[in-house]
A and B are shown apart, each in its own frame.
Chain A
Amino acid sequence: MTATLEWQLATVTAIRDETPRVKTFTLSLPAELPHLAGQHYDLRLTAADGYQAQRSYSIASDPTLAGQIELTIERLADGEVSAFMHDVVVPGDRVEVRGPIGGYLVWNADGGGPILLIAGGSGIVPLMAMARHRASTGSHVQATLLYSSRSREDIIYFDELQRLHSGDALGVFHTLTRSQPPGWTGYSRRIDGAMLEEVLAKSDPAAAIFICGPTPLVEGAAEGLVGVGLAPGRIRTERFGSTGS
């Protein structure tokens, strides 16, 4: 199989605010291995006494970007690693990473076929890598995104998604579950069967479906799609967090 995934020392070259709780970290890698849109890296922090903490973060950037990756990280209230990344790390700092990891929730523009992406919150990150990859390779495969956020200010990559919509024919449907700004024209509720049917009607009937987000959203969307007759094997998922029940 593959060679050992070695830890390497990456340098943080840029930090960008995405939303009040989400930042994107650009990492310059000494040895970048080729990766697919949808894969992740493990990130490891080491304290002076040797204590270590690790977490996995999805790659946000287009795989064709050479020598660097972007990780978009949500600051969790009790997040040992995410809070450190948000509150302490500045450009020029170094962190250990290894990857790429994961070979199931992945899509390649070359031969990948049409896609329907369904995201909740920071679950957009690996799916954004797919949308960016599609745009940068000039792929014309049909692609649609349904993206659930709590409020307008919580939408990650909002402006870029608008550009991908107008410039690269990415179908983009937003839903805001908690609050909506005046004049909001998107959906205003949790993803449900009616919403899925409307989005499906505007997607390629053969699209591969990728769902990533909090467990209740992924469970609901996946079951909704199976409920309207989609083959479970067409649906690939990545969940985070507990069932919340």
Chain B
Amino acid sequence: MRKWILPITFVCIISGLLLALQFKIQASQTPTPTEQRNEILVGIINNLENEISTYQQRIAEIKAEIETIEDVTASYQDDIKYLQQKVQKAKLQAGLTNVKGRGIRITLDDNKSGLLLAPNDDPNRYIIHYENILNIITELKLGRAEAISVNGQRIVSTSEIRCVGNVILVNTTRLAPPFEIKAIGDPDRLEEILLAGEYDLLKSTGFPVSYEKFTEETPLEIPAYTGTFQFNYTTLN
């Protein structure tokens, strides 16, 4: 009975050894379902990480692009500022902005009391005509007025001053007396030229006219021209 123990034990040891080795090979060779799943998950994670890194690269690229654009705009900033200033100046010259400043305000009205005193006289002699306003505005321009308005209508290069029946048309807007002419400029110079021209004539013929000078502290406000400039026949030469 005793003699078989040792050989069989020996063979058993070898079988155990071989079994364990083979098991190890097999374990490393074919992954279990869990391991396969893990591998799939690891693959997914790796893919996502790759994706993240590509997106991060893209973000970095876009950031660099933004920076270059910002640099470019910074270099254009001065040009833009210069052009904006030019535009602002051009708008001021064209009368497209609200302005304020020192100046003079003239009020003209029909000579109603004079007409009452002389009912048989020609009434045309007692009302303000468009020529009166036109003359005053021309004189104001001569006095280097920088901005002029009549009853809130800004006088620009295309503004007309024309009699239409018993009203006056300025910027295609009908105006009725009393007329209020505002002009921004040197008040003293404007006053001087006013008193030597049409205004003085009206005053001497009994029209109820008056003027008021405005200083820096209480500036005169003149609104912008609200119409449009149309050039249908004019092109740049």
Instruction: Answer yes or no: are A and B bound together in one complex.
Output: no
Q: Chain B residues in contact with chain A, CB under 8 A?
A: none
Q: Chain A residues in contact with chain B, CB under 8 A?
A: none
